Structure 1
Amino acid sequence: MARLYLVRHAKAAARFDEDPDPGLSEEGKEAAVELALDLEKIGPCPILTSPLERARESALPLANRWGIQPEVSAAFSEIPTPPEIAQQGIKARGPWLKEIAGQRFGTQPSLIRAWREGLIGMLKSTRSDTVIFTHFMVINAALGAATNDDRVVIMQPDYCSYFVFETTSRGLSLVSRGAEATTTVL
């Protein structure tokens, strides 16, 4: 059994429908340092991160405190944009995300269902306590897998909040929820 800490990245310098891969805002950088002070007590343990800049930058303060190098894993990237939406440009991503936020994974195209299955498979196969810096939709997918809830969005995880899961013989178990955002993301 492993304990997994899924951390939503700190506040980015731009919205997801303005920049495909922004770094952190100044506020986000400060929050990532504060988060590292809070998480420092649980490790050192492996750190995995999404390849997206905002997640990698959020992981750095903790990695530096522990003196380790985070491992980048595409499995923890944000939900993929279907090609027909991506072709319309970055501004189309926001309305698409808002539309699917009220839906269920079972009704999504195969690209989205495969993303979720791959993500959950990676989480279930993790064998040691691990901190994972990731995104809004990843946390929702993990939360759904742990609570047997097929909704795409279950809650609005706040920046730098972390959710604790354990791997079990039956899959994922939720240990504790992170903070919910005070403003609606989607």
Structure 2
Amino acid sequence: MIFLVRHGEAAAGWGDHPDPGLSDLGKQQANAVAVALENLGAKSAISSPMLRCRETALPFEQRMGLVAKVAPEVSEIDTPDDVEDRVAWLRTLMAGEWKGASHDFQGWRQAMLDFVTGLPDDTVVFSHFVAINALAGMIESDPRVVVFRPGHCSVTQLSRTPTALHVAEYGSESATRVL
């Protein structure tokens, strides 16, 4: 299994701060998911370089006596340079399909899938709402940007066959607002 974990609740919204850490609730969520991941048999960790993912990974790192490898391949989607209002841009993107996006993200999505496919089993990937959805969509051949709504610190489990990854179980969903 490969475990995709959405970061805990951030201390600021995506449109309010470019790289917020976790809120107090987010830190509690990170502690709880660390226990769950250990119980699921997770052995190693990869983290997005974004602070909210690094802080979410920390309790797991401490429990397991390891340091997560920081990997930009699993980071949040980049806002294109020509976008002035990133909240409005992301809201529009998330309501549609990848093929209708105003910018081409196929390279980002494919690089992330290739990276995750190459990870050993029992690895946790601490990542983001859109990134986890991009992976799930690529794996399931679903063209939508938002395939499901992973809650903070939800755990999506990927299984592997000799030729591909499969979504074995989607993480818990929540009605939390992304933007």
Equivalent residue number for residue 149 of structure 1:
142
Is 2:44 the partner of 1:46?
A: yes
Q: What 5-or-longer segments of structure 1 have no aligned partner?
A: none
**Matches for 1:111-150 after TM superposition, within 5 Å:** 112-150=105-143
In the comparison of the two structures, how many residue pairs are matched?
178
**Matches for 1:56-135 after TM superposition, within 5 Å:** 56-85=54-83, 88=84, 92-108=85-101, 109-110=103-104, 112-135=105-128
Instruction: Detail structure 1 runs of 4+ shifted over 4 Å in the superposition.
Output: none
50-59 vs 38-47, which moves further: 38-47
| Distance in structure 1 (CA, Å) of the matches to 2:121 and 2:155 | 17
Confirm or deny: 8 A CA contact 1:43 1:66 kept in the other structure.
no
TM-score of the superposed pair, with normalisation by structure 2: 0.94
| Distance in structure 2 (CA, Å) of the matches to 1:168 and 1:138 | 22
Higher helix share: 1
Confirm or deny: 8 A CA contact 2:140 2:167 kept in the other structure.
yes
Which amino acid in the other structure matches residue 128 of structure 1? D
Confirm or deny: 8 A CA contact 2:158 2:166 kept in the other structure.
yes
Q: Per-residue deviation at 1:168? A: 2.7
Q: What 5-or-longer segments of structure 2 have no aligned partner?
A: none
| Distance in structure 2 (CA, Å) of the matches to 1:135 and 1:106 | 21
Q: Alpha carbon RMSD of aligned pairs, Å?
A: 1.4
Confirm or deny: 8 A CA contact 1:123 1:167 kept in the other structure.
no
* Identity in percent: 37
